[in-house]
Structure 1
Amino acid sequence: MKHALDAINKFLKPITSNIEFSIDPDSGRTLVKIVDTETNTVIRQTPSKEVLAIAKELDKLQGLLIREKA
């Protein structure tokens, strides 16, 4: 997956350098970021940091529920 995202980023670079694709290291989900190229600041990210944090906490809760049932 990382190789495919690198290829997409390389393809898009000449067209638009403010869109980046990457993988969130904690969840393994694909991230799409719109970046201000002058300041290198992330303007928008999908999924957002908040959504990733919620998903991470839900995964923890799911793990706890599975352990309690077993």
Structure 2
Amino acid sequence: MNQALEDMIKRQQPDPTSVQFSIDEKLNQVVIKVVDPTTNKVIKQIPAEAVMKMREDM
């Protein structure tokens, strides 16, 4: 019972992430980053860094 209650409480808490929008001026491309605010680590980037590098090298 306690585990079920703890799981329910965790699901109701907001996801501790932030979304950042920016524009890459070289590529004239919108960049979206999902960031963990406690560590400032980028969890996901759209488009991916590798894709941006490939486009930059073209």
Instruction: Please tell me the TM-score bracket, short chain as reference.
Output: 0.5 to 0.7
Please say which structure displays the higher CA radius of gyration. 2
RMSD across aligned positions (CA): 1.6
Aligned residues, how many?
43
Measure, in 1, the Cα distance between the counterparts of 2:46 and 2:20.
11
Q: TM-score, normalised by structure 1?
A: 0.55
Measure, in 2, the Cα distance between the counterparts of 1:33 and 1:48.
9
Q: TM-score, normalised by structure 2?
A: 0.65
Displacement, 1:57? 1.2
Displacement, 1:17? 5.8
1:14-41 deviation digits (Å, cap 9, x = unpaired): xx86111101132120001000010111
Q: Which protein has the bigger strand share?
A: 2
Q: Which residue of 1 aligns with 2:57?
A: 57
- 1:35 and 2:35 are equivalent in the alignment: yes
5 Å matches for 1:9-20? 18-20=18-20
Unaligned runs of 5+ in 1: 1-15, 59-70
Measure, in 2, the Cα distance between the counterparts of 1:40 and 1:33.
11
Q: Which amino acid is the alignment partner of residue 27 of structure 1?
A: L
Q: Indicate the percent of aligned positions where both proteins have the same amino acid.
A: 33
